[in-house]
Amino acid sequence: MADPADLAEQALQAKEQGVVEILRLLQRPEDLARLADITAEYESRQKSAKATLSAMVQTQVESTSSGMDLLEKARRHIAKLQAALDKIDRLCAECADLVQHHDKIKLLALTHGNMKRVLSEIDDIIDLPYRAERCWELLMEDDANLVPAFEALTLLTGTAENAKQARRNTKVAAQAGQILDYLTKVDEVMVAFEELLFDQHLKLPGMVELAQERPTILVDCVRVIELQELLDAEYRRVKMGAVPQRRYRDRLFSGLVRDAEARFGELLEMAQQCHVPNDTVKYDQNENPIINETRDYSGALTRVTRLVGGQEETVTDPDQLQGIEVTEEEIFDEDKYLDELLNGLYDMTDELAAVYDYAAPCFPAEYDIFNRIFQCYHVQFAIVVDVLGHAAADGMSTKGALRCMDWVQKYMDTLRNLGVDEALIRLPPSPLADPDSLPGMVVLMDSYVHRMETTVTDWYMKNLKADLDAKYVPQVTADGTLATLGAVEFFRILNQQIAIIEKLNDHGEVMFQTAKTALRVMSSYQAAQRQVLVGPSDKGAGGERGSNGNKAGGPGAGGRPMSLELAVAFLNNNVRCHDQSLEFAEDVQRQLDQSYRSQLDIEDVCRGFLEVAKLATYKAVSIVFNDPGMSNQLKVLYSSGAEYTGGRATNVLIATLKDYFSDFKKWVLPSFLKRVAEAALEELVRRAANMFVAVPPTPSEPLLKRMAEDEADLAAYFETYLRPDRLRRPMALLSDMRELLVADTPEEFSLAFANLIAAHPGFTLDLATRILASRTELQKKQVADITAQCRELWKAREASDKAARGEADAAAGGGWFGWGKKGA
């Protein structure tokens, strides 16, 4: 505290300083005028000084108070320190007494610790049923508590397992056995938890529904599996063999396989019931279908609704009702059966898509959950389809077979949209089927295509028969050419079959088999036409213009004469079929997948129509030359009579050809008219050669002149249809025949003979000898030289023919053992 004397001295000093300050401020008289301002300034400073002084005093007071508090705390701590030192002194003294009993104290402490731990564990064991029940209640409150409940149950299970292990190791089993009463509840709750996890949440289709409605719960289920996998791995690491390995992940995967089999069980049973009656129909004694009936309590009819002549009829008259006898019959309703079965298969396909969209994202990538479920479902789909195919192949309608194949295609399209590898999309072999038997869908598809082939084949065979029976007279088309209705409709039907498969959106096996069957039908159609064109008709006598103006040939396959118009119609039909077959092939190739396109022999089949058209051309030409007006003139060729040498026979032949070709120009498609002309010229030359071979002519100047004029006349007529290179070969044969009669050197005669034996089988060495004998203008040496050269040519020809026959026989033998391999 400050001294009062010091304070008085300080006050005096302050007063003196104040006087000095006033004197300084009032040194001049005019300073008195500023007295008011000085007074105001003084008061302001005084207030400021008082405020500063008050603040300083307050600060000093607070500092003093804080110092007093610190001093009080220090006093209390010093007292505590003194007490602690006193306690240390006492404990040191006590320890000095206990050091002598250290072993006993250590044993007592260990016993105390063990007893405390045992009592704690007993408390936990006794509390296990309650805690387990609490875990179950937590889980029942909300499935969102799945993970916390599992974690709690895991701890309880660990405690229970430790207790069981202790019981197995204890020597007082009778008393320890009472502990099992407390462990039972834990096991029961764990079993119930696993049933909830695997039999509800992770069981198909519950897993899919859970993924759609509450995906977080499904994620929690996966977390539980992952946690258990970690526990199993840890137990294996520390070699805790007494703790059972729950293997939740393996249990999940094996459960999916069982669930898939169970999901398809009803569909499999339904597939086995194909053709088993599934509906009941009622009809009266006149076989009129009963739509509805009402009976009274005694079973007598009171009302009947039935179909009579396609019209509904309701009978309520008691007298009429007494005369109605209702008969029930069980039937197999294919539409109803397929509706139920295919709808079930579509539902399973949608479920598989839902697994991809909803369930798979809830699982880790390493689970590959979609592919696992897909493989299980895929095998089950294959089993159902295999059973259905074998059961339905014999009796299912075409519509039903197409519905089944449509489902298969849509199922494969769904798999493609889900990103399944193309190699896995096709249905695998059924594990339940006989490995030596064909897959059910293949059997069903074969049944469908066989039915299609049979239907189309029966159709065109009926049309061919009708054509030959003159039921369908060749019609004149818009361009003036001839055709029959059967061929016009042939490709329309084939295209309809392809369109049906196209609607299935199938570009693989079904489309391939259908296209393959269509090509086979085309080939058989071509073969049937060949049989008609090369049948007994070629053996009949020539025809002539009848009263109706038709030019008839020999009898057709059915024994009736084939008219020239029908032969031309066959020609045109096959040319048009060739064009349509190319369009058909282009469309099929566009529809088929790349891997199937090279397996179809399309070009050869299409070309087959042109071969049949050529055969029809030869048929038409044969009919023309079998005309008595033609054949009679051909008989006088190369004779020495005036009818031939005067040119009348040749003129009649050419005039008749012009008459026929006036019809050909109207009837035959322009693109094939030249082929008809070429065939006509070849046939004319062939028949002329036959006449030359049958009766070798005696050379004379009129004959040789006529033969040269024949060549010129025929060339002049046919050059309007044929190019020079196509005209040259048949005309060369006529020139070579004339050369045999005029050649006077071995070289010229041998060259003509070599050409003739290569072109016509009737020219032999004996024929050459006979012609040489008639050549009186030749000397013997010339004849001998020519004969020698001809003999050498003939020997070479015979050797060549023998070698060709040997190669043909070898090829035929090799073809027998290799038969069918191409088709296989």
Q: What is the pLDDT of residues 227-245, one digit of tens each?
A: 888 888 887 777 665 566 7
Same domain, 389 and 420: yes
User: Cβ contacts of residue 462 below 8 Å, gap of 6+?
Assistant: none
Q: How many CB atoms lie within 10 A of CB 19?
A: 9
The answer on pLDDT for 537 being more than 50 is no
At 687 the pLDDT is 92
The answer on pLDDT for 91 being more than 90 is no
At 621 the pLDDT is 93
Whether 392 and 400 have beta carbons less than 8 Å apart is answered as: yes
Largest separation between any pair of C-alpha atoms in the chain: 194
At 169 the pLDDT is 53
At 357 the pLDDT is 93
| Rounded percentage of the chain residues whose pLDDT exceeds 70 | 84
Q: Is 657 contained in some domain?
A: no
Complete DSSP assignment for 627-684: SHHHHHHHHTTT-SSHHHHTTHHHHHHHHHHHHHHHHHHHHS-HHHHHHHHHHHHHHH
Which residue in 689, 683, 598 sits closest to 638, CA to CA? 689
Q: At what angle do helices 485-503 and 564-591 cross, to 10 degrees?
A: 10
Same domain, 388 and 403: yes
The answer on pLDDT for 409 being more than 60 is yes
Q: What is the pLDDT of residues 172-229, one digit of tens each?
A: 444 555 555 556 777 777 788 888 888 888 888 889 998 999 999 899 999 989 988 8
Q: Identity (one letter) of the amino acid at 6?
A: D
Q: Is 452 contained in some domain?
A: yes
Same domain, 113 and 229: yes
**806, 809, 811 from 817: Cα distances, Å:** 17, 13, 10
- Across residues 124-133, what is the average pLDDT? 60
Same domain, 370 and 519: no
Output DSSP code: residue 363. S
The answer on pLDDT for 819 being more than 60 is no
Structure-token match 């079959």, residue found: 497
Same domain, 602 and 751: no
At 386 the pLDDT is 87
At 162 the pLDDT is 58
Q: What is the pLDDT of residues 731-776, one digit of tens each?
A: 999 999 999 888 888 888 989 989 998 888 888 889 888 888 888 8
Q: What is the pLDDT of residues 470-482, one digit of tens each?
A: 666 788 888 888 8
At 809 the pLDDT is 61
At 352 the pLDDT is 92
- Across residues 94-99, what is the average pLDDT? 70
Cα–Cα distance between 395 and 400 in angstroms, integer? 10
Q: Is 568 contained in some domain?
A: yes
Which residue in 397, 384, 152, 351 sits closest to 267, CA to CA? 384
At 57, list the tokens: 């005093």
The answer on pLDDT for 446 being more than 60 is yes
At 348 the pLDDT is 92
Strands (E), 88-163: none
Whether 217 and 146 have beta carbons less than 8 Å apart is answered as: yes
Which residue in 233, 259, 255 sits closest to 246, CA to CA? 233
User: Cβ contacts of residue 197 below 8 Å, gap of 6+?
Assistant: 146, 221, 224, 248
- pLDDT mean across residues, the chain: 80
Same domain, 496 and 529: yes
At 718 the pLDDT is 92
Same domain, 347 and 416: yes
The answer on pLDDT for 546 being more than 70 is no
Domain extent at residue 404: 268-274+334-437
The answer on pLDDT for 347 being more than 80 is yes
The answer on pLDDT for 684 being more than 70 is yes
Among 437, 463, 497, which residue terminates a domain? 437
- Across residues 676-687, what is the average pLDDT? 93
- Across residues 400-408, what is the average pLDDT? 82
Q: Write out the H or E segment, with its range, that includes residue 357.
A: none
At 18 the pLDDT is 78
Cα–Cα distance between 807 and 128 in angstroms, integer? 97
More reliable by pLDDT, 510 or 628 = 628
Among 331, 350, 365, which residue terminates a domain? 331
Same domain, 320 and 367: no
Instruction: Name the pLDDT band for 461 (thresholds 50, 70, 90).
Output: confident
The answer on pLDDT for 454 being more than 90 is no
Same domain, 241 and 137: yes
Instruction: Name the pLDDT band for 160 (thresholds 50, 70, 90).
Output: low
Q: Is 454 contained in some domain?
A: yes
Q: How many CB atoms lie within 10 A of CB 212?
A: 13
Q: Is 543 contained in some domain?
A: no
Q: At what angle do helices 215-237 and 146-169 cross, to 10 degrees?
A: 30
Q: Is 479 contained in some domain?
A: yes
- Across residues 573-582, what is the average pLDDT? 89
Same domain, 450 and 413: no
The answer on pLDDT for 817 being more than 50 is no
Q: Write out the H or E segment, with its range, that includes residue 312.
A: strand 311-315
Q: At what angle do helices 701-718 and 670-694 cross, to 10 degrees?
A: 170
Same domain, 366 and 429: yes
Buried b (16+ CB within 10 A) or exposed e, 575-604: bbbbebbeebbeebeebbeeebeeebebee
**What distance lies between CA 77 and its chain's CA centroid?**
92
At 544 the pLDDT is 41
Q: How many CB atoms lie within 10 A of CB 80?
A: 9
Same domain, 144 and 76: no
Q: Is 56 contained in some domain?
A: no
Number of domains in the chain: 6
Q: What is the pTM of this model?
A: 0.63
Q: Which range among 122-126, 338-342, 408-412 shows the weakest confidence by mean pLDDT?
A: 122-126
At 385 the pLDDT is 87
Output DSSP code: residue 281. E
Instruction: Name the pLDDT band for 552 (thresholds 50, 70, 90).
Output: very low
The answer on pLDDT for 256 being more than 70 is yes
- Across residues 669-692, what is the average pLDDT? 92
Q: Is 762 contained in some domain?
A: yes
The answer on pLDDT for 594 being more than 50 is yes
Q: How many CB atoms lie within 10 A of CB 83?
A: 10
At 555 the pLDDT is 39
More reliable by pLDDT, 26 or 625 = 625
Query: What CATH number corresponds to the domain at position 592?
Result: 1.10.357.50
